[in-house]
Structure formats: C-alpha cells, structure tokens
C-alpha cells in the first residue's frame, strides 16, 4: 500500500524532504501547500505533484491523504499539527513542535487520544554521525562526560537558508536550541535536571536575541554547553564536540571525526547519509508498522519543558 502524503511549506526545508522522499519506496506526495501560489506551482511541477494549494485545509479534505509533513513557519507548527490530527491524518512537524510549552502539551495530548503517528523533526537523532555515537553508548563503549555545541549563523536580516526573505522570524531558543537540548538528553539517556541561560541584546527590528549561551546538566551528571549566534561571520551550522570516557568525537551534520580531526566512516550506519531522509523513513515505517516513531511528539516533549523553563529565566 502506498502512503499518500501532503507537504506544507514549499521553501528551503520542504524541498529537502521532497528530495529525501524520492528515495523511499511506497510513498507518494500528492499535494503541496505553499504561501505563494506561483512559487508552489513551480515546486509541484519539478516534483510531479498534482494538487497545489495555499491553504492546508484544502489538502486535509483530500480523503486519499494519509499523512502530512509540516515545513511551515515555527509559529504555525502547533495549530497545524492539531488540525492534521483532528482531520485523521498522521503528522510529522518540523522542529520545533511549538514555541510554547502549553501548545506543545496540547499536541501531545491530542496525538495520544487520536491514535495517529505524530512525530517531530528532531533531525539530530537521525544524522548518521550522531547515530554512530548513540550506538557506541548503547554498546557500553562510550559515555558522554560533556557536550560542547556551537550553533552559528550570520543572519543580521530576516533571510532563509536559500537567501530569500522570510515571512516569519526565526528563534535561537525555541528553534535552534531545541535540536541540542533534545539530543543531549537522548544521547546521555538521562533527563535534564539543571538548565541555565543568558542572552545578548535584543535586535531592534527583529525583536529577538541574536546571541545566547545555555548550560545543561543531566541527572547522570553529564553536562552540555551550547553557544548560539545569528551574528557569526564565519563557518555556519552546528558543531558538536562529544567528550567522553573513551574518546572524543566531532560531529558536523552527517559527518563525524575523532578529536584529532580524523574522519570516521559513517556510511554503513544507516541506509542513507541524509538525516532528513532517515527521519522521513522512520515516520513512514512507524505508520506502516503501527508503532510509535523515534522522536514522537511524546518523546520530545521534555525538551520543550526545558525551553519553557529557560524562557522564564530570560524574561
């Protein structure tokens, strides 16, 4: 049986999902939703998608649609996830699940009662580099003492990953910190019990902090230091240093190195080297097998409690 999918958000991240889904058997994108009709039609033509709309509700009314992937602005994630579940569709929402604790909790509650697969795109759980470290931990060959993480962008104006103007404002805490807060707890296998944050000046036009520093400690004693910036005029992206009892690992997206910068072959860790594709494979496998996916909304909820607590500290 083919799983028929609607994808909302035809921007930089939506196309990453479309490229990944092309490699997955038994899945077909039959509807695409975007803010601007002409641009969305261009994407639909490129990927051979028949139905195009600027309104998610149009796609939710299509009986054949089994599942929805949401790559829309952060502020829409929770309400659109709820709409998908109410329409009886499985849903994968890109990170973050929500930009408030209350909204995150609402999605988890409805997901439980709906019986549908509801997953959040915490891609770091799926990148081969981080999976390799996770396998070493599960095999008892490595224990994290400290994670040192840098999430750096150069975004003095409101542009997306393709250099196009954004219709919404990105957020260091509710979006970019969510990746590391969840990954840290997931990798150490222990809940976060201490969290502290400080932030730099608020940008006069965007209304958000452009720099932030976060400290975390898990119940098992492991610590994490996370530095985030939209002001960094240098290499962009997130760099993870895992300092453990038997090794040091440097993870850069899907690539992994030792502490001495020797590259580790992670090509056999999973069926693909693309974290987004692996994330989508897990979503569709969970639907097909009727099970909870890795990075289900329930599994990632504790991350949003930590983000909420940090927001209270910063306000």
310 in a domain, yes or no?
A: no
279 in a domain, yes or no?
A: yes
CATH of the domain at 223: 3.30.360.10
The continuous run of DSSP H or E covering 92 comes out as strand 90-94
Domain that holds residue 69: 3-122+275-296
> What are the tokens at 105?
């909790």
Q: What is the pLDDT of residue 159?
A: 63
309 in a domain, yes or no?
A: no
How many independent structural domains does the chain possess? 2
> What are the tokens at 290?
């009727």
315 in a domain, yes or no?
A: no
Place of tokens 């930089």: 12
∠ CA(90), CA(300), CA(240), 5° rounding? 120
CATH of the domain at 38: 3.40.50.720
Pairwise CA distance, residues 161 & 88, whole Å: 32
The strand order across the sheet containing 211-218 reads: 192-199, 211-218, 223-229, 144-152, 237-244, 248-252, 255-258, 263-264
Residues 17 and 101 in one domain: yes
| Residues shown for the chain | 315
Residues 190 and 239 in one domain: yes
Residues 45 and 28 in one domain: yes
Pairwise CA distance, residues 214 & 296, whole Å: 24
Question: Under a CB-based contact definition with an 8 Å cutoff, are residues 201 and 210 in contact?
Answer: yes
Residues 261 and 131 in one domain: yes
- Contacts for 198-203: CB closer than 8 Å, 24+ residues apart: 198/314, 199/172, 199/173, 199/314
19 in a domain, yes or no?
A: yes
With H, G, I as helix, E, B as strand and everything else as coil, classify residue 151: strand
Residues 206 and 286 in one domain: no
Per-residue pLDDT of the chain (315 residues; tens, 9 = 90+): 899 999 999 888 999 999 999 999 999 999 999 999 999 999 999 999 999 999 999 999 999 999 999 999 999 999 999 999 999 999 999 999 999 999 999 999 999 999 999 999 999 999 999 999 999 999 999 999 999 999 998 877 656 556 666 555 578 899 899 999 999 999 999 999 999 999 999 988 888 889 999 999 999 999 999 999 999 998 888 999 999 999 999 999 889 999 999 999 999 999 999 999 999 999 999 999 999 999 999 999 999 999 999 999 998
Residues 7 and 112 in one domain: yes
Residues 142 and 240 in one domain: yes
Pairwise CA distance, residues 111 & 83, whole Å: 11
């Amino acid at each position: 049986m083919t799983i028929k999918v609607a994808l909302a958000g035809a921007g930089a991240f939506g196309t990453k999902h479309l490229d990944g889904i092309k490699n997955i058997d038994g899945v077909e994108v039959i509807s695409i939703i975007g803010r601007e009709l002409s641009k969305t039609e261009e994407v639909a033509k490129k990927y051979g998608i028949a139905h195009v709309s600027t309104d998610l509700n149009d796609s939710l009314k299509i009986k054949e649609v089994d599942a929805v992937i949401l790559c829309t602005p952060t502020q829409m994630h929770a309400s659109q996830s709820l709409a998908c579940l109410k329409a009886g569709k499985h849903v994968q929402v890109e990170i973050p699940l929500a930009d408030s604790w209350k909204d995150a909790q609402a999605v988890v509650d409805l997901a439980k009662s709906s019986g549908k697969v509801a997953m959040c795109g915490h891609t770091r759980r799926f990148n081969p580099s981080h999976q390799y470290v996770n396998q070493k931990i599960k095999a008892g060959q490595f224990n994290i003492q400290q994670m040192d993480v840098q999430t750096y962008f150069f975004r003095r104006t409101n542009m997306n990953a393709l250099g196009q103007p954004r219709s919404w404002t990105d957020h260091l805490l509710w979006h970019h910190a969510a990746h590391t807060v969840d990954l840290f707890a997931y990798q150490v296998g222990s809940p976060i019990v201490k969290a502290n944050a400080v932030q730099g000046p608020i940008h006069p036009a965007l209304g958000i902090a452009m720099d932030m520093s976060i400290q975390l400690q898990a119940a098992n004693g492991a610590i994490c230091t996370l530095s985030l910036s939209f002001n960094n005029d240098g290499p962009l992206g997130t760099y993870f240093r895992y300092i453990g009892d038997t090794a040091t690992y440097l993870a850069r997206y899907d690539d992994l190195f030792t502490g001495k910068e020797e590259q580790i072959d992670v090509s056999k860790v999973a069926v693909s080297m693309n974290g987004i594709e692996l994330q989508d494979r897990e979503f569709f496998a969970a639907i097909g097998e009727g099970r909870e996916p890795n990075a289900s909304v329930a599994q990632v909820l504790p991350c949003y409690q930590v983000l909420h607590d940090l927001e209270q500290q910063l306000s």
